[in-house]
A and B are shown apart, each in its own frame.
Chain A
Amino acid sequence: MSIGLLSLIILVLAALGYVIGRRKAVGQVEGDIRKLHSLPPFYGRITALLTAVPAFFLIAAWLLAQPLFLENKAISLIDPAELPAGKSAELMMADVRRVAAGLNMLEARGDEVGPLLASPTALKTALNGAGVVLETEPTPSTLAATAALRDAGDTSRLAMTGAALLLALAGLAFGFSRINPEYRARNATEQFAMWLLMTSSLIAVLTTVGIVGSLLFESIHFFRLYPASEFFFSTTWKPQFGGGSSLGILPLLWGTLYVSVIALVVAVPIGLMSAIYLAEYASRSTRAWVKPAIEILAGIPTIVYGLFALITVGPLLRDYFASPLGLGTSSSSVMTAGLVMGIMVIPFVSSLSDDIINAVPQSLRDGSLGLGATPSETIKQVVIPAALPGIVGAVLLAASRAIGETMIVVLGAGAAAQLSMNPFEAMTTVTVKIVSQLTGDTEFASPETLVAFALGLTLFCLTLALNIIALVIVRKYREQYE
């Protein structure tokens, strides 16, 4: 039974629960609802909630956890003797999963899969036709594992449907049986709702746990296969999918920092000066349309900036700066990515600085102007020093944004990992390499793939540290004037 249909049935059961729960409560007091503890809808609601919510939780938990249990059995069926050299049983499981998914797809299209299972060659052709490309023909033990996996999948699906329906019915019966005029249905409903609210707020915590957990887990996995000292201190990045790669993070970090620094060199003066002008000089009407116009830059998706770098800025820089000056012939370069990223970061610097400059008390300005300083002297000698911690915070936030940015560098900076000072040369960044190591078919057993998680962890720590420092600085500063 498909999940859509199952959900629909549970929802219908819940609706039914609402109707009969309400009707039972009203029936028990013969229509005189003043004798009920709560208003009649509450009796319906609690029954409906008890029917639907546990069942949906069960489905979600089952779907998340089932592969863990299903694959244990299948993996034990793979015959170690049949494994090609250099492939582990875990790697073969990826093939098993894909064959199983391909077979399910064929079956869904209405093809007969029985005969295919008998002949590996026919199976491979049929799967290729369905878009599942296999490197080698499946071996007999892989086929056995596939069959076991599919059987287990079918059984599990059936068991889940049964369990969910049973749980829904049990919830319905339990809710229904509890209904009587003295039952505090409103309190029960509200208690239930409170639990739901709390559970949803846990999702934020679970997301963080998921991020840190998956990054740490796979990174540890990576450092077992590849020495950490090499990763952090080696200056060459040369992944080779045959093995023997050098995976040093330094060239990537260099590229990341170089691009970010150029971005900040572009964005900080422009952002800061526009914030100052908007906060101190601009008339109300100018401010009303200029501020949103600059903030449009923050709402444009990064892929748009990426394409802009690729088709406009890159060729322009190459034709008018890099080639005539003899600095390079590549249209994707650190300069391209940095410039475009600088444009993207302008609004982050300007709106945060604007808020901070506005938060400087007017009395400071009045005092300075009263002593005869010109407005620009007031800004330079009074307002900016007072706002400095906040501005530094804004710049750090912008830096963290620039370091974590992906699409602009993927399309604008190039893919060559190198340590070079020339800004017109193509270089690469941490995020570009995460994308290139994890796109396409990924096997979670080779260091070349797992390195992406170590890169992700580095990136996560770097941006987190910048954000925390920025927030601490901003918060400390804000306390001064309140």
Chain B
Amino acid sequence: MTARPLNPRAALDTRESLLVQDPRTKARNATEKRFRAYGLTAIVVALLALVWLLVSIFGNGLPAFRQTFMTFPVTLDAALLDKGGKRDPADLAKATTFTYGKVLATSLGAEVTAKGIDLGAVQPKDLIKMISEESPATLRNLVLADPSLIGTTIDFTVLASGRIDGYYKGRVTMESAALDKNISPDQLALADRLKTAGVLGMKFNAGFLTMPDASDKRPEAAGLGVAIVGSLYMMFVVLILALPIGVATSVYLEEFAPQNKFTDLIEVNIANLAAVPSIVYGILGLAIFINFAGLPQSAPIVGGLVLTLMTLPRIIIPTRAALKAVPPSIRDAALGVGASRLQTITHHVLPLAMPGILTGTIIGLAQALGETAPLLLIGMVAFVRDFPGAPPDGLFDPAAALPVQIYNWTQRGDPGFVERASGAIIVLLVFLIAMNAVAIYFRRKFERRW
């Protein structure tokens, strides 16, 4: 304290010129610069985190949209597939996927010989290991649906096994294959030769979006079909329940509710519900909808109901804001020409508030679409391969959901599922971006200033 002169001017007097900053000002200006730099750094760090997140997800997930396939002529030998020779469905069903696997392996062997590809050290019986375990089942279903195919030769495209797919995506190397009992380096070398001959190749994987989930050992065949349908069903339930209830609640609170304790109670409730952790809604769903009301587990209806309750406050809050933004003069004018209060609302206020309501609803739906935790508790984690039926009864069938499917895949052992999970996130993000884009479009297009 003693260092500073009592008279501040004493410090100023030492300056030679006004254009030269004294040390104190310099220090203050440096602090100012540093402070600005901190702010800028914080923003850059936040944005870098976003970029890092997206790059990591896209880098891991984009390969899921391309898949290694093998195409070769398959001879459907009647002697193997239809021992009775009568094309009797019961007889045909006796040929198991194992038999079809043999058919595929034989045909692949024939193709290899026909094209003059060197088998190398691969035994002909090990050729089947290069084909996905899912493919015999696909072929079997194809034949069962159309028995006239038996005895003919068809050009059939099969999924390559997960390890070969991983080899072309950089997940599997010759070194790792040497330690892996599911694949050998010789098979990978053969795959390379098949690729040169044009039998094996990579192309867009439409099955990722349409096929159901597959078991632990078959990441190459796992798809999002059931999950997308399940998520759509849930969004449908949320939309038809949450939108009307949310709008009705907002209209009541904003336009009709008297100022009393009861209204206050509702308002406090809504504010609190918006802040309840989502997992608590899962507990509610489990206790009320499944345990008490006996609704089926894993059903989109239960997921939809839980998400509805969760989304309601998120729809009510923007809806009330939209209603509030409609100027009172509109209401006064309508009431003045003799409309009842309800007519005023339905004919004038609601249509004017609609863009705001829709924007809020779409954003609420987008949040519900990405919600995972409550769905885990109501049994959506179950392994579901069958597509649910058509609504409304299909709403009670077991189904998966997009975010839960992602969680499911992260819990599996095969590294191929990491790629699938990241790919599924890309699908989820595409849905979310589309929904938010629609919401922004609505806001821009219909936004009105009074």
> Which A residues have a C-beta under 8 Å from some C-beta of B?
2-4, 7, 63-68, 97, 101, 186, 190, 193-194, 196-198, 200-205, 207-208, 210-211, 214-215, 217-218, 269-274, 276-278, 280-281, 290, 293-294, 296-297, 299-308, 310-312, 343, 346, 350, 374-377, 379-380, 397, 400, 403-407, 410-411, 431, 434-435, 438-440, 442, 444, 452-453, 456, 459-460, 463-464, 467, 471
A contact residues around B379 at 8 Å (CB) = 439
Q: Please give 4 more A-B residue pairs, beta carbons under 8 A apart, in addition to A194-B342, A269-B42, A303-B403.
A: A202-B266, A304-B57, A376-B32, A464-B275
> Which listed residue, A64, A68, A293, A459, touches B50 by the CB 8 Å rule?
A293
CA distance in complex: A4, B395 (Å)? 10
Which partner residue on chain A sits nearest B281 by CB separation? Answer: A211
Among B70-78, B99-107, B125-133, B244-252, the stretch in contact with A: B244-252
Pull 26 A–B residue pairs with CB atoms less than 8 Å apart, ordered by A. A3-B392, A63-B293, A68-B292, A201-B257, A204-B316, A205-B269, A207-B312, A214-B284, A270-B46, A271-B46, A277-B42, A294-B46, A299-B367, A301-B371, A301-B372, A310-B410, A311-B422, A397-B275, A403-B277, A406-B373, A431-B277, A434-B279, A438-B282, A438-B283, A463-B277, A464-B272
CA distance in complex: A184, B131 (Å)? 75
Check if B291 is an interface residue, CB within 8 A of chain A: yes
Report the minimum CB–CB distance from A284 to chain B (whole Å): 15
Report the minimum CB–CB distance from B79 to chain A (whole Å): 30
A contact residues around B245 at 8 Å (CB) = 200, 203
Check if B12 is an interface residue, CB within 8 A of chain A: no
B contact residues around A375 at 8 Å (CB) = 32
The reply to whether B287 and A431 contact each other, CB–CB distance below 8 Å, is: no
B contact residues around A301 at 8 Å (CB) = 367, 369-372, 403, 428, 432
A2-B393, A467-B272 known; A97+B294 contact, CB < 8 A: yes
CA distance in complex: A346, B47 (Å)? 10
Report the minimum CB–CB distance from B236 to chain A (whole Å): 13
Which partner residue on chain B sits nearest A280 by CB separation? Answer: B39
The reply to whether A201 and B248 contact each other, CB–CB distance below 8 Å, is: yes
Check if B256 is an interface residue, CB within 8 A of chain A: yes
Which partner residue on chain B sits nearest A97 by CB separation? Answer: B294
Contact pattern, B 23-49, Cβ under 8 Å of A = 1, otherwise 0: 000001101100110111111011101
A contact residues around B279 at 8 Å (CB) = 404, 406, 431, 434-435, 456, 459
A contact residues around B273 at 8 Å (CB) = 204, 207-208
CA distance in complex: A26, B391 (Å)? 38
Report the minimum CB–CB distance from A294 to chain B (whole Å): 5
Report the minimum CB–CB distance from A255 to chain B (whole Å): 15
B contact residues around A299 at 8 Å (CB) = 366-367, 432, 436
A270-B42, A311-B418 known; A305+B291 contact, CB < 8 A: no
CA distance in complex: A218, B286 (Å)? 12
A197-B252, A198-B252, A406-B278 known; A211+B43 contact, CB < 8 A: no
The reply to whether B46 and A274 contact each other, CB–CB distance below 8 Å, is: yes
Report the minimum CB–CB distance from B377 to chain A (whole Å): 5
The reply to whether A4 and B253 contact each other, CB–CB distance below 8 Å, is: no
Which partner residue on chain A sits nearest B56 by CB separation? Answer: A312
> Which listed residue, A201, A210, A274, A459, touches B288 by the CB 8 Å rule?
A210
Report the minimum CB–CB distance from B58 to chain A (whole Å): 11
The reply to whether B372 and A303 contact each other, CB–CB distance below 8 Å, is: yes
CA distance in complex: A101, B316 (Å)? 37
A293-B47, A406-B373 known; A374+B57 contact, CB < 8 A: no
CA distance in complex: A190, B46 (Å)? 52
The reply to whether A439 and B280 contact each other, CB–CB distance below 8 Å, is: no
The reply to whether A207 and B284 contact each other, CB–CB distance below 8 Å, is: yes
B contact residues around A374 at 8 Å (CB) = 28-29, 31-32
CA distance in complex: A405, B248 (Å)? 30
A205-B265, A343-B53, A452-B283 known; A200+B252 contact, CB < 8 A: yes
The reply to whether B35 and A200 contact each other, CB–CB distance below 8 Å, is: no
The reply to whether A273 and B53 contact each other, CB–CB distance below 8 Å, is: no
Which partner residue on chain B sits nearest A380 by CB separation? Answer: B35
CA distance in complex: A200, B57 (Å)? 41
* Residues of chain B in range 372-425 having any CB-CB distance to chain A below 8 Å: 372-373, 376-377, 379, 381, 391-393, 403, 406-407, 410, 418, 421-422, 425
With most chain B CB atoms within 10 A of its CB, the pick from A218, A312, A444, A452 is A312
The reply to whether A197 and B36 contact each other, CB–CB distance below 8 Å, is: no
CA distance in complex: A459, B393 (Å)? 36
The reply to whether B372 and A204 contact each other, CB–CB distance below 8 Å, is: no
B contact residues around A196 at 8 Å (CB) = 248
A contact residues around B43 at 8 Å (CB) = 273-274, 277-278, 290, 294
> Which listed residue, B39, B271, B367, B373, touches A273 by the CB 8 Å rule?
B39
CA distance in complex: A196, B244 (Å)? 11
CA distance in complex: A311, B422 (Å)? 10
Check if B230 is an interface residue, CB within 8 A of chain A: no
CA distance in complex: A467, B272 (Å)? 8
The reply to whether B291 and A444 contact each other, CB–CB distance below 8 Å, is: yes
The reply to whether A346 and B248 contact each other, CB–CB distance below 8 Å, is: no
A contact residues around B403 at 8 Å (CB) = 301, 303
The reply to whether B370 and A203 contact each other, CB–CB distance below 8 Å, is: no
The reply to whether A200 and B248 contact each other, CB–CB distance below 8 Å, is: yes
B contact residues around A343 at 8 Å (CB) = 46, 49, 53
With most chain B CB atoms within 10 A of its CB, the pick from A203, A306, A460 is A203
B contact residues around A435 at 8 Å (CB) = 279, 373, 376-377
B contact residues around A2 at 8 Å (CB) = 392-393
A contact residues around B391 at 8 Å (CB) = 4
The reply to whether A67 and B47 contact each other, CB–CB distance below 8 Å, is: no
A contact residues around B271 at 8 Å (CB) = 471
